[in-house]
Amino acid sequence: MEITKGQIITRGLTNRCPNCGGHTLFKAGKIFELNEACPACGLKYEKDEGFYLGAMSLNYGITLVCALTPVALLWYYGVLGARPAAVLAVALSVLIPVALYRSSRSWQLMLYYSFFPQHLPRNRRALDGIEDENV
Ligand SMILES: [Zn+2]
């Protein structure tokens, strides 16, 4: 395989194309618009409908574990009052998903190609007669 899982993970954590390593996941000058495909190597980022539900789940899980649970515990143990805890929880539940939007898309691609590195165009090889591409 030309591209290793380590490279896929490194590229995923740095918001880069898993196939060529270019900084091409998002449209230039846009914060939230994913390119349909990598302008450098042509890897399609837009997958089946629902592909990026995993990114939303990652975002939700991180927000819940890293922000809302600590705020709830601070409120439960009396460190924060109910009103400041509620305001903080609402603010964090909006800000964290927005802040992690780009990274969570990249992490979703990273997870997918970590499990299926053979689906990257640079990792494809000629198939034997009995093999199925399974793409
Ligand atoms: Zn690329």
Instruction: Indicate whether 135 belongs to any domain.
Output: no
Q: Where in the sequence is the domain holding 111, given as residue range(s)?
A: 5-120
Instruction: Indicate whether 78 belongs to any domain.
Output: yes
Instruction: Indicate whether 68 belongs to any domain.
Output: yes
Looking at the whole model, is its pTM more than 0.85? Answer: no
Q: Is 135's pLDDT higher than 60?
A: no
pLDDT 10s digits, 73-111:
999 999 999 999 999 999 999 999 999 999 999 999 999
Computed over its alpha carbons, how large is the radius of gyration of the chain? Answer: 19
Q: Is 134's pLDDT higher than 90?
A: no
Residue 52 Cα to ligand 1 middle (Å): 18
Residue 15 Cα to ligand 1 middle (Å): 11
Residue 110 Cα to ligand 1 middle (Å): 13
Are 18 and 12 contacting, i.e. CB atoms less than 8 angstroms apart? yes
Residue 33 Cα to ligand 1 middle (Å): 16
pLDDT for the residue 128: 66
Residue 59 Cα to ligand 1 middle (Å): 24
Tally of structural domains, the chain: 1
pLDDT category at 126 given cuts 50, 70, 90 is low
Instruction: Indicate whether 133 belongs to any domain.
Output: no
Residue 95 Cα to ligand 1 middle (Å): 29
Instruction: Indicate whether 132 belongs to any domain.
Output: no
pLDDT for the residue 133: 60
Instruction: Indicate whether 18 belongs to any domain.
Output: yes
Instruction: Indicate whether 131 belongs to any domain.
Output: no
- Mean pLDDT taken over the chain: 91
Instruction: Indicate whether 46 belongs to any domain.
Output: yes
Q: Is 29's pLDDT higher than 70?
A: yes
CA distance linking residue 1 with residue 97, whole number of Å: 34
Residue 131 Cα to ligand 1 middle (Å): 26
Q: What percent of the chain has pLDDT over 90?
A: 79
